[in-house]
A and B are shown apart, each in its own frame.
Chain A
């Protein structure tokens, strides 16, 4: 009965947090800055740059325009999703906003467990991110259906998995940071910084192999890069297979490497399973750290209470 009641409280708190995020237009817009920048860049010059780049690789071969459009479109939406799953997770958290508005004091004096409250922030953060990510996925799929659709069911599942695991990764990482702050300045700062920088360091704005060697080595140490490559594979595997019908395998391989559909870790190719394991294990490690931090804080408070008693 108690667990049932706590579960209901969790669901209401989670729902409240999600609703608050979507009602706060400013926070909502800030969290979508990166995908908006990407769309603008794509329309302004990225699409034609990548098109030219592909056409220069396949010079002498007659490649269907729908394949080129599907490739650039898939690249765009894999970038949009790879960044949004992180930036929205960082900007949609209500934990610090509640601390600033002092709503958290009201929750602290309500008969709701602190762990329920904490979990509601994480879940709301995750669901808000997932809602936006799946809306963006739907938009992407509609766009690709118009220009050229080559995503099979397995690749679709890979995209869905990538959305879920990347959103969870971003959510847990953000909540670890939010646990230590009560300042709106820190939240805005981190949110803006992540929104502005993440697109660069995960290879969303430009392919990794266009970066310098030092930068490439650095980003290959970040779990987010592996998530981006997973998104690329989900969106572009089908197009590359289709390109393989008219182009030599080496050429297709060259396109895959140039556009981050393949990734190597200091010279060693990383398989799809390898990519999945890196991002999954990283997420689990972060989750462990988050649980540890919260249980240590809880124990510290219990110890003070025992000393008083």
Chain B
């Protein structure tokens, strides 16, 4: 697979503030790539540099084989879903989609054909004549994503697309994106601070104060940075003495005993050694929350 996005030693300072501080990463074609970080970590600055809205201070950015200095060659291959809606509230859904599609040099026939694709898959027909501000939040988001995909981009940038949306709408957004990814070789670059969204990605970069602090697949990151847990629901009380003696961290409540291990091997060895003392257990891999906490020392939830 080839790199569709390649960033090398990218820097962007706003006065003393180092918004992006010497970061490098690449995105494989067809991947779902997540850019994870708190607000102000540098995610949106990087995206804005990639699409030519901001100039970089130094470094190289290549998108679809072109440098961002040649932004006019890059933009036709990109679709972006912004955090807030950018559509015209007073216009109909059809007009909104038509006016935006024409900016990509589409003919009317091409537009109608592409629109038909989405009408059939997303049940858009009843919405087309409605004014945008008459739609529900979920319907508006649906139209906004169609806007970003109508010109059939190679790269879809999702800049915190589900922030502020209810769980049902978030699911709808992801169903749409996954449906489109299934049928095309679309590369998705996602910035988010929702762990559950990031854990769907093929690769993740965690950015903190403008610097990359961890990168890899969700599994690699979990193996490297997250703890494993044994949750025991039925167990011999003798296990508590062993935990105290070996100084292994644990939490106990009425329902279960949760024992924390540095990695899977440690958990597995402990279980094999004391298997007779456990009757009903489950082994849990650490979450992306653990990874984030481990590499940044901060909790994402505080910021959301």
- On A, residues with C-beta under 8 Å from B are 5, 8-9, 12-13, 15-16, 19-20, 23-24, 101-103, 105-112, 301, 304-305, 308-309
Q: Which of B56, B89, B104 contacts A111 (CB 8 A)?
A: B104
Contacts A13-B103, A102-B82, A106-B82; A305 near B55 (Cβ below 8 A): yes
Contacts of B51 in A (CB 8 A): 108-109
Closest to A305 in B: B55
Q: Which of A5, A8, A102 contacts B84 (CB 8 A)?
A: A102
Closest 4 CB pairs of A and B: A23-B90, A106-B86, A12-B102, A110-B103
A27 to B267, CA, bound (A): 67
Q: Which B residues from 87 to 145 make CB contacts under 8 A with A?
A: 87-91, 95, 98-100, 102-105
Given A105-B82, A108-B53, A110-B100: 15 more A-B contacts, CB < 8 Å: A12-B98, A12-B103, A16-B88, A16-B99, A19-B95, A23-B91, A102-B84, A106-B100, A108-B51, A109-B51, A109-B52, A109-B75, A111-B104, A308-B55, A308-B58
The distance from the CB of A111 to the nearest CB of chain B, in whole angstroms, is 4
**Count of chain A to chain B residue pairs whose CB atoms are closer than 8 Å in the complex:** 72
Contacts of B103 in A (CB 8 A): 9, 12-13, 107, 110-112
Interface pair B102/A8, CB less than 8 Å apart: yes
A24 to B89, CA, bound (A): 10
Contacts of A8 in B (CB 8 A): 102, 105
How big is chain B's contact interface, by range? 20 to 34
Asked whether B78 is an interface residue with its Cβ less than 8 Å from the other chain, the reply is yes
Contacts A9-B103, A105-B53; A111 near B69 (Cβ below 8 A): no
- On B, residues with C-beta under 8 Å from A are 51-53, 55-58, 69, 72, 75-76, 78, 80, 82, 84, 86-91, 95, 98-100, 102-105
| 17 sampled A-B residue pairs with Cβ under 8 A | A5-B105, A8-B102, A12-B98, A12-B102, A12-B103, A16-B88, A20-B90, A20-B91, A101-B88, A103-B86, A103-B88, A106-B82, A109-B51, A111-B75, A305-B69, A308-B58, A309-B69
The distance from the CB of B75 to the nearest CB of chain A, in whole angstroms, is 4
Contacts of A5 in B (CB 8 A): 105
A18 to B100, CA, bound (A): 15
Closest to A11 in B: B102
A24 to B133, CA, bound (A): 12
Q: Which of A24, A110, A305 contacts B75 (CB 8 A)?
A: A110
Interface pair B91/A109, CB less than 8 Å apart: no
A107 to B104, CA, bound (A): 10
A30 to B95, CA, bound (A): 25
Contacts of A304 in B (CB 8 A): 55
Candidate in A16, A24, A101 with the most chain B CB atoms within 10 angstroms: A16
Interface pair A19/B104, CB less than 8 Å apart: no
Contacts of A305 in B (CB 8 A): 55, 69
Closest to A97 in B: B88
Contacts of B58 in A (CB 8 A): 308
Interface pair A101/B102, CB less than 8 Å apart: no
A117 to B229, CA, bound (A): 56
Q: Which of A9, A15, A16, A109 contacts B53 (CB 8 A)?
A: A109
Interface pair B84/A13, CB less than 8 Å apart: no
Contacts of A111 in B (CB 8 A): 72, 75-76, 103-105
A101 to B91, CA, bound (A): 14
Contacts of A308 in B (CB 8 A): 55-58, 69
Contacts of B99 in A (CB 8 A): 12-13, 15-16
Candidate in B56, B88, B100 with the most chain A CB atoms within 10 angstroms: B88
Contacts of B98 in A (CB 8 A): 12
A103 to B56, CA, bound (A): 23
A304 to B54, CA, bound (A): 10
Interface pair A19/B86, CB less than 8 Å apart: no
Contacts of A19 in B (CB 8 A): 91, 95
A106 to B79, CA, bound (A): 10
A106 to B57, CA, bound (A): 23
Interface pair A20/B72, CB less than 8 Å apart: no
Candidate in B55, B58, B90, B103 with the most chain A CB atoms within 10 angstroms: B103
Closest to B72 in A: A111
Interface pair B90/A24, CB less than 8 Å apart: yes
A132 to B90, CA, bound (A): 20
Closest to B107 in A: A8
The distance from the CB of A182 to the nearest CB of chain B, in whole angstroms, is 14
A111 to B56, CA, bound (A): 20
Contacts of A107 in B (CB 8 A): 103
Contacts of B87 in A (CB 8 A): 103
A309 to B53, CA, bound (A): 16
